[in-house]
């Protein structure tokens, strides 16, 4: 499909082949966004209100929840306009702003997952010094470094894309604006943009994933040195939630990269679906995984609902 060249406009894509059921697809998407908002907000409230959770592991979990909220908020505007309103046009400036926030929060999520891997390594390899190594000022410093790193690396991206001329064909391949997708529509040489994008990916997502694997190799080495089988299982059990979060974030991204690199004729549907899995499922499932696997969070929620249930019954009885 070819569109005329509306100045300052790009055209987004929904799930290919399912345009006729667009309104129905809006229902599960709205449920996912509502679940992401509720789940991550609940994690933040529980960690803030429960003194026993004022520990490094849960501070990092709070960072992950904030990042997931930011990632959901970044993709939400265009997803709503496509599936709820049927509007596929997006202004260039709005598109560039969206890709900045999507990529920034994506790098933040990767960085937080790396710090969580470091947290698990310290907790298992050196439990007696855990509190003295991961002090509150150091945790705050790590959070600040994550924010500065993510924002500073992506500030040049929209500026460079803004300077490029774009052709008549302005149809993007996804339901939100992404750097490689917008760059492909330019009617000019994009080697510098492509090299810059590759540098950012390798220095963030690539490096983070390698360091996470290295952290778990060291964790496994430490765990195998523990004599008691029960203690080994207990140590590994503390890593399950984080491993699930890593898999939720990186698996769709790796699959999408493989399709782009090795797929001779990649299906547009599979490409868009994997993109949805990469950006939409971690914010929804991360709070679920951590709630199921973390006893302190479950107990705090149980006390909250029990207290509210008692209050409601007392009110009704009077």
* pLDDT tens-digit series, residues 82-104: 888 888 899 999 999 999 999 99
Q: At what angle do helices 56-83 and 92-125 cross, to 10 degrees?
A: 160
**Band of residue 8 on the pLDDT scale cut at 50, 70, 90:** confident
d(CA 56, CA 68): 18
Where are any strands of DSSP class E within 79-173?
89-91
- The domain made up of 9-317 is a member of CATH 3.30.70.100: no
Percent of the chain exceeding pLDDT 90 equals 51
d(CA 289, CA 155): 33
- Lookup: tokens for 56: 């490094």
- Lookup: tokens for 155: 């500030």
| Res 265: pLDDT | 66
Residue 128, Cβ density class (10 Å: 0-12 exposed, 13-18 middle, ≥19 buried): exposed
| Res 5: pLDDT | 41
Arithmetic mean of pLDDT, 26-37:
92
Q: Which helix (H) or strand (E) is 9 found in, with range? A: strand 9-11
Radius of gyration (Cα) for the chain, nearest Å? 22
Identify which of 23-27, 35-39, 185-189, 258-262 has the greatest average pLDDT. 35-39
| Res 306: pLDDT | 72
Model confidence over 120-155: pLDDT tens digits? 999 999 888 998 999 999 999 999 999 999 999 999
| Res 266: pLDDT | 65
- What is the maximum alpha-carbon separation in the chain? 74
- Assess contact for 146 and 111: CB atoms under 8 A: yes
Asked whether residue 3 carries a pLDDT value surpassing 50, the answer given is no
């Amino acid at each position: 499909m070819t569109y005329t060249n509306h100045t300052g406009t790009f055209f987004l894509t929904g799930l290919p082949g399912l345009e006729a059921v667009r309104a129905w697809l809006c229902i599960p998407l709205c449920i996912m966004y509502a679940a992401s908002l509720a789940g991550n907000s609940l994690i933040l409230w529980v960690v803030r209100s429960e003194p026993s959770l004022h520990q490094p592991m849960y501070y990092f979990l709070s960072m992950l929840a904030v990042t997931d909220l930011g990632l959901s908020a970044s993709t939400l505007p265009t997803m709503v306009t496509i599936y709820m309103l049927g509007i596929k046009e997006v202004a260039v400036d709005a598109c560039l702003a969206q890709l900045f926030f999507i990529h920034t929060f994506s790098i933040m999520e990767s960085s937080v997952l790396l710090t969580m891997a470091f947290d698990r390594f310290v907790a298992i390899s050196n439990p007696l010094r855990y509190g003295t190594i991961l002090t509150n000022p150091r945790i705050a410093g790590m959070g600040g470094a994550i924010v500065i790193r993510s924002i500073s690396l992506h500030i040049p991206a929209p500026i460079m894309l803004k300077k490029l001329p774009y052709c008549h064909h302005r149809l993007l391949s996804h339901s939100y604006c992404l750097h490689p997708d917008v760059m492909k529509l330019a009617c000019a040489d994009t080697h510098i943009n492509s090299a810059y994008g590759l540098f950012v990916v390798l220095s963030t997502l690539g490096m983070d994933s390698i360091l996470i694997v290295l952290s778990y190799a060291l964790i496994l080495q430490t765990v195998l040195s523990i004599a008691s089988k029960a203690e080994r299982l207990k140590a590994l059990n503390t890593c399950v939630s984080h491993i699930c979060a890593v898999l939720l974030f990186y698996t769709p991204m790796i699959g999408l990269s493989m399709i782009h690199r090795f797929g001779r004729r990649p299906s547009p549907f599979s490409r868009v679906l994997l993109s949805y899995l990469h950006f939409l499922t971690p914010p929804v499932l991360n709070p679920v995984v951590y709630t199921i696997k973390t006893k302190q969070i479950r107990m705090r929620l149980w006390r909250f609902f029990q207290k509210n249930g008692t209050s409601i019954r007392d009110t009704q009885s009077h």
